[in-house]
Amino acid sequence: MKQVHDSHLSFSLIVETENLASCNPSEIEHLFDSLLNQTKKITEANEVIIGDNGLMPPEIMARMQELIPNLKRIDIKRELTYYQAKNLLANSATGDIIVFCDSDCTYTTEWLEAILDSFTIKPDADVIGGETVIEVKNAYTLAMGLNYMLHRQPSSPELTPIKFYYLNNVAFRREFFSKNPIPDHLKIFRGTCSVHSRVMRNQGVKIWRNAKARAYHLPPQNLWYYILRFLLMGHDNYWLDRFLTTPLEPNVVEEAKVEKPLLQQSVKEVKASSTHQRLSLNQRLTRRIHYLTKQFSVYSEEYNITNTQLILAVPIVIFTQGLVTLGRLITQFNSLFSEEPHWLYRFAVLLD
């Protein structure tokens, strides 16, 4: 892919700290080390914005303020969700491009350069996503790579259109994002990016992926987070299946490009629209096995996966999928009594 540099393209970098609740808070030091080693220097940003909700170790914050003169620290309330914090921090950005990264990820040295260059390669693009992966080091990380929400695609040296982005590795034109913020009121723990992506695509907005803009995501770091995270994934899948299969009305507010019907519908209005519940058990299993096989194919092209790793990973995959299924069933039962999801979702505050 030909690299095109535009020295006039200003940018702002945004870092959240909500994810530090799910890992050792010192992990954010690995994030900043990777950012400080970028080929495109983060000191060239208009500002590096970090939302401080009290989870970041003060000694690391002090070190970063010394090393990053354009660091802009913003105090945010602990009760804000991941998506609410992202929207809030984006309001303080002044760059032409807003680049989002996460506190539990690290980034390759060419990540920032690649994602910014994408906007000059595709000058009409409003959204550029990168490639986020879990690095396969053993059977556990292999199982997490196959199970987690990071849907891998075959690698390509060219910019390719994709259906959705991940907020841990994406950049928006600031003007576009200010008119199309993330719908942060949905009661799902993670997955709002998929809803946001569908709303944008329904407006004719193309989302592009640059596989060279790579991030490495931490797998679940402890047993409590692992169990609760995948139960919540089942909860999210239940409601996302409805949000993402609801017919979209062609009613667009032109100056804001925000699709009002989907984002303003209550859960009660969308919960009858799912196609998933009409599938037989055999069809659901077949679809899931096909997905896991596809994920394994992509990972096996990149990593030298041994037979031992695969054999040990299989029971972890099965157990994890059992947690996801249990989370979906609990949420489905909950929906018989409530118009809004709340049983499992209440536990999300322990992870965010």
pLDDT category at 249 given cuts 50, 70, 90 is very low
Instruction: Point out the least confidently predicted range of 168-177, 193-202, 301-310, 337-346.
Output: 337-346
Q: What is the mean pLDDT of residues 124-139?
A: 94
Q: b vs e for 293-313, b when ≥16 Cβ sit within 10 Å of the residue's Cβ? A: eebbebbeeebebeeebeeeb
Fold topology of 11-222: Spore Coat Polysaccharide Biosynthesis Protein SpsA; Chain A (3.90.550)
pLDDT of residue 243: 77
pLDDT of residue 280: 67
pLDDT category at 271 given cuts 50, 70, 90 is very low
* Domain limits, the chain: 11-222, 236-350
Q: What is the mean pLDDT of residues 193-217?
A: 92
pLDDT of residue 5: 46
pLDDT of residue 236: 92
pLDDT of residue 242: 80
- Please indicate whether residue 229 or residue 352 has the higher confidence score (pLDDT): 229
Instruction: Examine the pLDDT at 145 and tell me if it is beyond 60.
Output: yes
Instruction: Examine the pLDDT at 144 and tell me if it is beyond 90.
Output: yes
Q: How many residues are there in the chain?
A: 352
- Please indicate whether residue 261 or residue 343 has the higher confidence score (pLDDT): 343
For the stretch 32-58, pLDDT in tens is 999 999 999 999 999 999 998 888 888
pLDDT category at 197 given cuts 50, 70, 90 is very high
For the stretch 62-92, pLDDT in tens is 999 999 999 999 998 888 889 999 999 999 9
pLDDT of residue 47: 96
pLDDT of residue 272: 41
Mean pLDDT for the chain overall: 84
pLDDT category at 320 given cuts 50, 70, 90 is very high
